[in-house]
Amino acid sequence: MLRPQASAFSALRRRARTSGSRGVAPLGAAPAQALGPLNRPVRWRDFGRAIALAGVLLLLAAGGALAQGNRGGLPPGIGGMPGGLPGFAGAVPGAGTMGGAPPAGTPAAQPPPVFDRRSLADIPGQQRGTERIGSPTQAEGGPSLVAPLGDQGRISGPATAVFGAALFTGQPQSSSDAPNPNYVLAPGDRVSVRVWGAVESELVGVIDPAGNLFLPNVGPVRIAGVRVGDLQAVIEAEIRRVYTAQVQVYATTLSTQRIGVFVTGFVRQPGRFAGVASDSILDFLVRAGGIDPSRGSHREITLRRGNQTVATVDLYRFLLEGSLPQLRLQEGDTLVVGRQRAMVGADGAVRNNFLFESTSRASLTGRELIELARPLPAATNAVVRGVRNAQPFSRYMSMTELAAQTLLDQDTVTFVADVAARTMRVTVEGSRLYPSVLVADRDMTLCQILDHIAVDAALADTEGVFILRPSLALTQKRAIDEALDRLERQLFLAPAATTRVADARAQEAQMITQYISRARRIQPEGRLVVMGPDGRCAPLRLENGDIIVIPERSQTVMVQGEVNFPQAVVWREGWSAAQFVEAAGGLTQRGRMSTLMLRRPSGQAILNPQQPPQPGDELIVLPYLDPKVWQFATDLVTALFQVALAARVFRD
């Protein structure tokens, strides 16, 4: 639980302590205004001046989504909760769920609601409870698919790969003449024995059908059934029974007997394949092209010798546990891959996104699927789709219900995370002490969470706090694109009386098109103005991913626009806007004192300001617009001004 940070700004809280208003809609940017009807007449005179005006506005326009009016503070009806930053007029301690004693008159805290994991579709409307106090947000919009941390790039959708099919994707390996140490010798294997010292002898022999190897002066030695790794010790022991001293022995296996095994059933390329007795059944299945993923079974592979079944292999035990029976294949053996059993797919919030085969012919229990698919901890529900009685079947159920469900052949189960997030993460940037990331309840407001951010009173501009909201940036981008689309239609659909007029308009439209092309590359920052002129914050409910920016204090005023020498001017107490303009070289020919705009560090824009600039403000002298080009410039400037407001500056 977050705790309020002690700070040097505590005294400022007593400046204006008021109670905030919960449930007030978040203050955001107003949607982009329409450009006007397409049949509006376009005045093309003094077009160059309109273009210049639009370019200047792009560079000078205020940044961010304005939550206040041109000259005002908070909207009527919002009393304004004092800032919770140390140094703001204090937020009510204990508001929300951050801890602290509630103020007098505040209703008693309600016990936390019990979360009901059942689907709302299964609960009657009158019985549906409220999970928490607060209005819905995007996090409650519905179930979401969660990918494993090790496979974030996984493409969502039904599973298409059969579990275990990857065993047969490689190229067949040729059999090695040198067996591994665990290979058990059998009749037909070739063995080399060398003896030197008091007696010298060398023998390369084949194990006879009785399982013996005949050694001169020693006799038959039974080595059939001996591991290759134990061959040296067995031969040496038999030789030392005759030659007790000064004799050295070296024994090794040269090659094993070649065999042919039939592979049939539901494989890609059935037939007879050569190998050695030390090869496993997987080697022969790979040589047959692997199990057919649409027809063959990974759980029923039979080894037949003559008319008898020697063993039945379930590859799932090998895939999940690494257990594969040690079978010694012989000449003429047959591997039969059985018919595929019931197949059920698992996708969504699972680690194993595959098609799984049942142990029975017709069905697979939900519990078995859960063990095979291994759902992620975030998975709370599942969507089961299939066919029942020749009719499409679909059901939404909890994990407990799924465990008791009987799944049939060709069913698909999508695991989803269907639970509202209880917390949100907010990032703090700018002039702050610690921490930079806060995790709080989702119904926390800005004024409440500011109470948990410590700042330095000498460095932080506590009245210039603003929010960068990613969701708002997307909305701004969409509004800009729509406004630019309307502007393009108006440019290219305007009628021309003569050919010369049409040529002139085509050239002018090309210039505007260049501006529009650059405007489409703008990436809005999603700025929200949340501070009023009196330094109080708006009771705005935060969203997950919001960035709270606390600017540093500045001792300058940036003067730009239609001035001769745009520059930062050191702030002086008592100076008026005209004096700051004069310090920047005065107005240009197109500058007027009636077109001033003041932009606060918080992003608030004030046209024709009556109060003098404050430290950190930007004083912008907008160009004077000749009324005779107002008709066309209104539409052009509206679109480009929205671009500048959203992105603050026109970037190449």
φ, ψ for residue 70, nearest 5 deg: -65, -35
60 class by beta-carbon count within 10 Å (0-12 exposed, 13-18 middle, 19+ buried) = buried
Burial label for 589, CB within 10 Å (0-12, 13-18, 19+), is exposed
Among 70-74, 487-491, 506-510, 567-571, which is the least confidently predicted range?
Answer: 70-74
Q: What percent of the chain has pLDDT over 90?
A: 35
How many Å apart are CA 594 and CA 588, to the nearest integer? 13
Within this chain, do residues 217 and 320 fall inside the same structural domain, yes or no? no
Q: Work out the burial of residue 84: count CB atoms within 10 Å of its CB; fewer than 13 is exposed, 13-18 middle, 19 or more buried.
A: buried
**How many domains does the chain fold into?**
3
Query: Which residue spans within 216-307 are E strands per DSSP?
Result: 219-222, 247-255, 258-265, 271-276, 296-305
100 belongs to a structural domain: no
Mean of per-residue pLDDT scores for the chain: 76
Q: What is the pLDDT of residue 500?
A: 80
- Residue 455: inside a domain: yes
How far is Cα 340 from Cα 267, in angstroms, rounded to an integer? 11
In this structure, the answer to whether residues 245 and 265 fall within a common structural domain is: no
More confident residue, 266 or 5: 266
| Domain membership flag for residue 525 | yes
SS (H, E, C) 425-484: EEEEEECCCCCCEEEEECCCEHHHHHHHCCCCCCCECCCCCEEECHHHHHHHHHHHHHHH
Q: Are residues 483 and 632 in the same domain?
A: yes
Question: Does residue 83 sit in the same domain as residue 213?
Answer: no
Residue 138 lies in a domain: no
Shared domain for 630 and 527, answered yes or no, is yes
> How far apart are the C-alpha atoms of 550 and 64, rounded to whole Å?
15
On the question of pLDDT at 488 being above 90, the answer is no
Dump pLDDT digits (tens) for 318-338: 999 988 888 888 889 999 999
d(CA 275, CA 288): 12
Q: Is 437 exposed, middle or buried (0-12, 13-18, 19+ CB in 10 A)?
A: exposed
In a domain, 363, yes or no: no
pLDDT one-digit tens code per residue, 106-159 = 444 444 444 343 333 343 434 434 333 344 444 444 566 777 777 777 767 788
Strand-pairing partners, residue 273, are 261
Domain end position, chosen among 255, 288, 306: 255
Q: CA angle, 374 as apex, 371 and 376 as ends, to 5°? A: 145
State if pTM tops 0.75: no
DSSP 8-state assignment for residue 491: H
Is the residue at 451 inside a domain? Answer: yes
Confidence of residue 22 (pLDDT cuts 50, 70, 90): very low
Cα–Cα distance, 335 to 275 (Å, whole number): 14
The rounded distance, in Å, linking the Cα atoms of 469 and 548 is: 9
Do 42 and 66 lie in a common domain? yes
Are 432 and 504 contained in the same domain? yes
Same domain for 496 and 461, yes or no, is: yes
Q: Find tokens 């077109």 and name the residue.
A: 595
Do 330 and 475 lie in one domain? The reply is no
- E strand or H helix at 53: helix 47-60
Mean pLDDT, residues 389-416? 93
The DSSP letter of residue 62 is P
3-state DSSP assignment of residue 505: helix
Task: Determine the pLDDT at residue 627.
Answer: 57
Q: How far is residue 587's CA from residue 623's CA, in Å, rounded to a whole number?
A: 10
For residue 205, give the CATH number of its domain.
3.30.1950
pLDDT in tens, 450-482: 888 888 888 999 888 999 999 999 999 999 999
Is residue 403, in this structure, part of any structural domain at all?
A: no
Residues 249 and 265 in one domain: no
Look at residues 339, 356, 380 and tell me which one is the last residue of a structural domain: 339
Q: What single DSSP character describes residue 101?
A: P
Q: What is the dihedral of CA 32, 35, 36, 39, to 10 degrees?
A: -150
Same-domain check for residues 240 and 307: no
Q: Give a yes or no: residue 368 inside a domain.
A: no
CATH code, domain with 321: 3.10.560.10
Q: Is 226 in the same domain as 265?
A: no
Q: Which of 155-169, 610-624, 630-644 has the highest mean pLDDT?
A: 610-624
Q: Which of 574, 648, 650 is nearest to 618 (CA)?
A: 648
Helix 47-60 and helix 630-647, axial crossing angle in degrees, nearest 10: 20
Residue closest to 335 by CA, chosen among 301, 298, 306: 301
Q: Is 76 helix (H, G, I), strand (E, B) or coil?
A: coil
Q: For residue 480, what are the domain limits?
A: 10-95+426-647
The pLDDT assigned to 138 comes to: 43
Closest by CA position to 15, among listed 602, 463, 615, 611: 463
Provide the token pair at 597: 């705009």
pLDDT, position 245: 77
Among candidate residues 198, 233, 255, the one where a domain is terminated? 255
Name 395's bridge partners.
384
What are the DSSP calls for 540-560, one per residue? Answer: PBP-TT-EEEEPBP-SEEEEE
Instruction: Report how far apart, in Å, the C-alpha atoms of 28 and of each of 343, 523, 541, 564 are.
Output: 51, 17, 11, 35
